Amino acid sequence: MPEPLPFRRRLIALAASATVALLLSTAASAPAALFPGEVVDGPNPGILAVGGADMDAADGAGGVVYLREDGGAPHVFVARIVDGVWQPPERVDGALAPPASDPVIAAGTGGRLVVAWVTEGVLYASVRQSRTSGWSGPQAVGAPATLPAIDMGFNDNAYLVWSTGEDVHAARLPRGATQFQPVAGPLDLDPVRRAGGQPNLRPSVAVSAEGLALAAWGEVGADGRSHVVARRIDGTRPSPVPADLTVDELDGRRGGDADAPMATIQSDSSFGWVVFRQALSDGETTTLRAIGRHMRGSLFEPPVIIDGQGWPAESVGWPSMAIQGTGTGFSAVPLQSGPIFGMAVNSDDEWTPFATRLDSAPVPVAGRLPVFYSEDKNGMVAWPAPDGMLRMRFVTGIAFQPEQQITKPELGPVDWGAGVAMAGDRYLNGFVVAIQGSGAERRLVSAVNDREPGNFSPWSSSRWYREPPARLSWREPKEAWGDLRYTLEIDGRAVGTTRRLSYPTRNLRLRSGVHLWRVLAIDSRGQASATPTRLLKIDRDPPNVTISFRRSGRVATIDVRAIDRDSGSKTPQVFFGDGTSAWGRHLRHAYRPGRYTVTVRASDNVGNVRTERRVLVIR
């Protein structure tokens, strides 16, 4: 007899807690600090809705696109984040007076941003080529258009997909270009049927490192069901045959309507996932389950349920998934009653055998949860809490870290229905953006996850110097948000600050001896990391020299002591005063009667020289 649903949930939670505890004992937390409550725009009652956010994996530049009233109508604004600092908002659709809707954004290298939106049924796009350039004028990409989605790969190729209300279309923006190129024909499985024209059938797109794309959308089939369809795109050519991912039968249950597709792809365009929601019925009960289909080459593998439930189960909301370049990642699925469960997948496409309950207090979630997963296998997932705040968990490897609040109550409740978005770079510098407050106190607010400057080390040598190197140098930390200043410390004292990767020593007046030095890297929020301490060995002093004589008739034994306690002394050279010389510390030399000046020249290992003279009388 099947177990009651609440009892099965308790088993899932207990198994998750035990396994996660084991993982957390061996996994390091994300080395970052969270800075909630940073106001991006506002207060302004005209801040309407968040469209999306994105960030380049390499340099951490990106931004958030949102709708804000201007002149009494909603228009497209972008706030960029550069070196971890929010820049003033910029209106992107300034050349268009009618109201705008559905803004989306994608980020590339060097500050490249692409924004698309819909104005009066026309899909427009604008491109910002770099951090220092301006926005291009709006270009019409397609019409009629609704519900666009966009993504940009590591090589700066971007793809835009949208629905006309009847069909799904796509366009490609090549690397370095400012004009989109149309992808041939509609992407639909059956162009006669309606595709992508409703929010739950909205197209999704993901772009690989090679510049190929995987698109997914919902489409009404000949059987009357809504299907989830996927298709690869190579440049401006779609793959020959779309793939219908809809399940006809799973776990002995008949498949019904499928919707809410989300596409993800690895660096290698042969691999990716599409997650979606589908109704499964045993003849008596119909349940919406979260399903994942793994793409391998041109085929999709058998379906996997990714909501962490057995049977019987509770219906779910829209599933989310994020992966990095080799396929490791996680899913986040809300149950319709509110609880959220996460599962992780490794680079061998193997899912963890348990689900982790993410939230501590359930709130029914409309729409898709924002998720992100970085190239160094750290991620984020956020959701609304009963108190009106946002909660989140970091993901380290395949372990979900403890839940934490990421919004400030004094800024007012979060408007979840107005959109919440997140983005990050390869080091998990990132942000979550939402709208807080109401009326005149409405604000676009971010919680910035700013990783402290990464590990780095000084360029150093163990040798002794007669004079210190002209500059003390160090490697650059792993920090995409590179607005760093460096403080040089010598013998525990700060001696100077620079933004370069070296510091001059000419004015430091370092005495002879062994000094300890290190460098602190400090970011724009005051977070610091330090290099290991290294030695700087300076020897400006020549050896101390003593000379003594012992005579036996006309033969003199000359004893030389040359001591240098820093770099060490070399074998001294002795000039006997009769035009001859030799190297050594204990020398015997035969003289004729007379008066001689014996000269000793002693040097250390860095070239300091001391010369001493003594008079020797031979009778």
Burial class (CB within 10 angstroms; exposed 0-12, middle 13-18, buried 19+) of 240: exposed
Higher pLDDT, 427 or 277: 277
List, for residues 341-379, the tens digit of each pLDDT value. Answer: 999 999 999 999 889 999 999 999 999 999 999 999 999
Helix (H), strand (E) counts: the chain = 1, 53
- Within this chain, do residues 184 and 310 fall inside the same structural domain, yes or no? yes
Answer yes or no: do 124 and 156 share one domain: yes
CATH number where 284 lies: 2.130.10.120
Q: What is the pLDDT of residues 61-88, one digit of tens each?
A: 999 999 999 999 999 999 999 989 999 9
550 in the same domain as 532? no
Query: In angstroms, rounded to a whole number, what is the distance separating the alpha carbons of residues 191 and 306?
Result: 30
Whole-model pTM: value is 0.85
Instruction: Report pLDDT for 148.
Output: 98
Provide the pLDDT for residue 300.
97
In a shared domain, residues 513 and 372: no
Contact 314, 337 (CB under 8 A): yes
Closest C-alpha among 293, 317, 102 to residue 216 = 293
CA dist., res. 612 & res. 201, Å (int): 94
Return the CATH number at 596.
2.60.40.10
- pLDDT at position 242 is 96
pLDDT tens track for 3-47: 333 333 333 333 333 333 333 333 333 446 899 999 999 999 999
Task: Check whether residue 405 and residue 485 sit in a common domain.
Answer: no
Q: Indicate if 555 and 470 belong to the same structural domain.
A: no
pLDDT tens for 119-164 read 999 999 999 999 999 999 999 999 999 999 999 999 999 999 999 9
pLDDT reading at 492 higher than 60:
yes
The verdict on 229 and 198 lying in the same domain is yes
SS3 (DSSP) at 25: helix
Q: What is the pLDDT of residue 2?
A: 32
How many CB atoms neighbour CB 286 within 10 A? 14
Burial class (CB in 10 A: 0-12, 13-18, 19+), 163: buried
Give the pLDDT confidence score for residue 32 in this predicted structure: 64
**Section 292-314 average pLDDT:** 96
> For the chain, what is the domain count?
3
Based on the domain organization, do 462 and 596 belong to the same domain?
Answer: no
What's the CA gap between 484 and 481, in Å, rounded?
8
Q: Which amino acid is at 108?
A: G
Mean per-residue pLDDT, 461-482:
91
pLDDT bin (cut points 50, 70, 90) of residue 308 is very high
Quick one: 211 and 332 in the same domain? yes
Distance CA 472, CA 466 (A): 15
Domain boundary among the residues 451, 482, 504 is at 451
473 and 362 part of one domain: no
Last residue of a domain, one of 451, 485, 508: 451
CA 546, CA 9: separation in Å to the nearest integer?
Answer: 87
The three-class DSSP label of residue 417 is helix
108 and 50 in a common domain = yes
CA distance 102 to 119: 9
pLDDT value, residue 298: 86
Q: What is the DSSP string of 1-23?
A: -PPPHHHHHHHHHHHHHHHHHHH
Same domain, 377 and 522: no
- 24 sits in which H/E element: helix 5-26
Domain limit, last residue, from 493, 510, 538: 538
Separation between Cα atoms, residue 280 and residue 513, nearest integer Å: 78
Segments forming the whole domain that contains residue 479: 458-538
